[in-house]
Amino acid sequence: MLRLFTVIVLMFGLLAPAMAQEDTGNPRAETGGAQTLDDIMRRQAEQKVDDEFRRSETGDPEAAAPITAPLGTRGGQSISDLWRALRYDTADVSTQSRGPAATTLIQDGGMWWLKFREGPLLIYGAALLGGTLLLLALFYLIRGRIRIKGEKTGRTITRFSGVERFGHWLLASSFLILGVTGLISLFGRKVLIPAFGHEAFSMLAIGSKWIHNNVSWAFIVALVIIFVFWVAHNLPNRTDLVWLAKGGGIIGSGHPPAEKFNAGQKMIFWSVIILGASISASGLSLLFPFEFNMFGATFAKLNDWGVTGLIGSEPLPYPLSPQEEMQYAQLWHAIVSLILTAIILAHIYIGSIGMEGAFDAMGSGEVEEQWAREHHSLWVEEVQEAEVHQSKEA
């Protein structure tokens, strides 16, 4: 009889784990509610993992023992419960600081940003700038400098006034300073720390940040100046289509007619205005992260309009914490800045070694008449007609 009872007990003991494994109602029954092997494998494959089982395991203060009972002073949360609540920003945190992000002690959603910033952003950013310089060098070797074909007249035409040149050089100089200091901040850890050490980079990084933040205001002011002075001359028209069809005289022979700004210069202008405004907006968001948020409200609108569904994507994250706002703003600021830098490199090339006589337009403001006729013939006609009209009135 004793042997029979022992056998029955052993059978139930062996069947109990199997019965628990067959419980499909709770996929974490085997682990006592913790993560499963499937969770671990999905996380290693960088796939989305449902972590609701952790978010909800933050303890229950109402379940605490009475204060007079043993362990009654320990509350209804274990140390693990408390850390999970801190991680998922559900803990009841008290602080003397009143900033919007003061109670967020662990920002759990930033690892994707860190990986992207340290990986693809640096790799593709360096490839974009390096590739642009390489293409410009190859173009110079193949095409050479674009020379003035006709005989120089010795006469000049005023192309830009002093105020226009001031706005241009304020924009150019501030952009170059912002570009250098921005690249130091973006690539410094990977490039400068191994070369010069942490202490030297620390001084350089602090100085670069101060310069970057303050020179940014000059860039914004200059952006407004050039927009006011040149927007009327940069509106697209049919002449631009002819200019583009003939390659602007850069590709092939002959220079198509153009007004004060040709189609290529108009594309540069609108790139600077649109991308520069976007860079300025994201920069303001970084300078004032709690007062000027761009992405949370934008993501909410796009989700409401169903834009993400049209492209087969999941809804964009909303609402965003102040830290997440800064992460998106930093990436946008860097990506758009890198694109605009590549465009400006091409602009600098054409305005310096790429084309004879081009630098004079922003250097002295006076250009050789023959250069003006070859590159901006319609504008020359307008200037001369205006001079004749003024002389008749006088």
For the segment 231-268, what is each residue's pLDDT rounded down to a tens digit? 999 999 999 999 998 888 777 667 889 999 999 999 99
| Whether the Cβ atoms of residue 346 and residue 339 lie closer than 8 Å to each other | no
Nearest to 276 by CA among 351, 224, 236: 224
In this model, does residue 46 exceed pLDDT 90?
no
Tens digit of pLDDT for each residue in 287-343? 988 788 889 889 999 999 988 888 888 888 888 888 889 999 999 999 999 999 999
Question: Would you tell me how many other CB atoms lie within 10 Å of the CB of residue 287?
Answer: 13
Give residue 167's pLDDT.
96
Nearest to 215 by CA among 156, 164, 170: 170
| Whether the Cβ atoms of residue 262 and residue 247 lie closer than 8 Å to each other | no
| Whether the Cβ atoms of residue 264 and residue 298 lie closer than 8 Å to each other | no
Give residue 29's pLDDT.
65
Give residue 10's pLDDT.
55
Q: What percent of the chain has pLDDT over 70?
A: 88
In this model, does residue 89 exceed pLDDT 80?
no
Q: Per-residue pLDDT averaged across 151-173, rounded?
A: 94
Alpha-helical regions (H) of 197-262: 198-230, 238-245
When comparing pLDDT for 205 and 77, which is higher? Answer: 205
In this model, does residue 67 exceed pLDDT 50?
yes
When comparing pLDDT for 73 and 43, which is higher? Answer: 43
Nearest to 171 by CA among 365, 347, 352: 347
Q: Which amino acid is at 203?
A: M
User: How far is Cα 288 from Cα 214, in angstroms, rounded to an integer?
Assistant: 13
Go through 252-269 and write b for each residue having 16 or more CB atoms within 10 A of its CB, e for each that does not. Answer: eeebbbbbbbbbbbbbbb
| Whether the Cβ atoms of residue 294 and residue 316 lie closer than 8 Å to each other | no
The SS3 of residue 272 is helix
Token pair of 30 as six digits: 């085997």
Largest CA distance in the chain: 132
When comparing pLDDT for 6 and 168, which is higher? Answer: 168
User: How far is Cα 13 from Cα 56, in angstroms, rounded to an integer?
Assistant: 32
User: How far is Cα 339 from Cα 125, in angstroms, rounded to an integer?
Assistant: 8
User: How far is Cα 151 from Cα 135, in angstroms, rounded to an integer?
Assistant: 31
Q: For the chain, where are the E strands, in sequence order?
A: 156-158, 366-368
Question: Would you tell me how many other CB atoms lie within 10 Å of the CB of residue 251?
Answer: 9
Nearest to 230 by CA among 268, 197, 198: 268
Compute CA distances 247 → 147, 265, 267, 371, whole Å.
16, 13, 14, 17
In this model, does residue 344 exceed pLDDT 90?
yes
Q: Is the pTM of this model over 0.85?
A: no
User: How far is Cα 287 from Cα 275, in angstroms, rounded to an integer?
Assistant: 18
Give residue 371's pLDDT.
93
CA 176 to mean position of chain CA atoms: 17
Average pLDDT, rounded, for the chain: 85
Going by pLDDT thresholds of 50, 70 and 90, the confidence category of residue 20 is very low
